[in-house]
Amino acid sequence: MTYHRIMLKLSGEMFGGSRGIGVDPDVVASLAAQIKSVVNAGVQVAVVIGGGNFFRGAELSERGMDRDRADYMGMLGTVMNCLALQDFTEKAGVQTRVQTAIEMGQVAEPYIPRRAERHLEKGRVVIFGAGSGMPYFSTDTVAAQRALEIGADVLLMGKQGTDGVYDSDPKKNPNAQRFDELTYDDYLARDLKVADATAISLARDNKLPMIFFDLGVEGNILRVVQGEKIGTTVHA
Ligand code: UDP
């Protein structure tokens, strides 16, 4: 295996399935199966999940909500995704722990990085919820921060139906070109939006490689972890 400990960022949108909202159990079950195959290969897996299938603070605030409160709703939404992934991953026979940045003792442990590392060493999948616990951040940025704090080798940015980073939106521009590799500085200079600039600059400053790839293709997480060149790698 190319990587020993990975951080996997899953977008909330994916959890919503074809409707893009709520939780589609079939999608979560297939993600759990992919994660299991990676754990079985001896890789330690941590996960950060977004919440776009429930609420995005920025969108709610555009429609009149207070941004801070809307962002807290967004963070709470991510926890539902965490519990769904926990359920299907455990049903697949893999032990998990959910840790949240906003304390909610009945459903999850609080975020304790050293404990998270201990879980990983024991082969448990650690799922981080509630973002950073702070408004004005994205779960992409949280994934980079958590990856650094727990010492992950790589940040895998799993996307639904998009196989990497393009020079323009491939859904709008049929001539969009995909990058195989990109430096952090190039990414930022081109003002690309696949992950937010805060996440990219945090990764750049700490030399954390990021790989953007299509999660919709069964087996892709394992392919990336085995070092197969798929998607787009963003590095120094
Ligand atoms: N959020 C936040 N602070 C964080 C992480 C997330 O306020 O540290 C809120 C924010 O409103 C965001 C929402 O949670 O829009 C859902 O996260 P995100 O948009 O990153 O999810 P994704 O697009 O990956 O599904």
Residue 71 is labelled as binding a ligand: yes
Tokens found for residue 208: 């954390």
Out of 75, 128, 155, 194, give the residue to mutate to test ligand 1, the one with the largest number of ligand atoms within 8 Å of its CB: 75
Which pLDDT does position 171 carry in this prediction?
87
CATH of the domain at 48: 3.40.1160.10
pLDDT in tens, the chain (236 residues): 899 999 999 999 999 999 889 999 999 999 999 999 999 999 999 999 999 999 999 999 999 999 999 999 999 999 999 999 999 999 999 999 999 999 999 999 999 999 999 999 999 999 999 999 999 999 999 999 999 999 999 999 999 888 999 999 998 999 999 999 999 999 999 999 999 999 999 999 999 999 999 999 999 999 999 999 999 999 99
In SS3 terms, 136-157 reads as CCCHHHHHHHHHHHCCCCEEEE
With vertex at residue 111, the alpha carbon angle to CA 129 and CA 219, rounded to the nearest 5 degrees, is: 45
Which pLDDT does position 94 carry in this prediction?
98
Closest-CA residue to 84 (of 19, 11, 24): 24
Q: What is the dihedral of CA 169, 222, 206, 159, to 10 degrees?
A: 20
What's the Cα-to-Cα distance from 164 to each of 16, 104, 180, rounded to whole Å?
A: 20, 35, 8
Which pLDDT does position 128 carry in this prediction?
98
Q: What is the domain extent for residue 202?
A: 5-235
Compute the distance from residue 214 Cα to the ligand 1 centre, in Å.
20
Q: Crossing angle, helix 25-40 and helix 67-91, to 10 degrees?
A: 60
Closest ligand 1 atom, residue 57 Cα: 11
Out of 71, 79, 127, 160, give the residue to mutate to test ligand 1, the one with the largest number of ligand atoms within 8 Å of its CB: 71
Quick check: pTM over 0.90? yes
Which pLDDT does position 198 carry in this prediction?
97
Number of domains in the chain: 1
Compute the distance from residue 135 Cα to the ligand 1 centre, in Å.
8
Compute the distance from residue 48 Cα to the ligand 1 centre, in Å.
11
Which pLDDT does position 12 carry in this prediction?
94
Separation of alpha carbons 196 and 144, rounded Å: 11
Which pLDDT does position 161 carry in this prediction?
85
Which pLDDT does position 173 carry in this prediction?
92
Residue 93 is labelled as binding a ligand: no
Query: Does residue 232 contact residue 178 with C-beta atoms inside 8 Å?
Result: yes
Query: Does residue 3 contact residue 43 with C-beta atoms inside 8 Å?
Result: yes
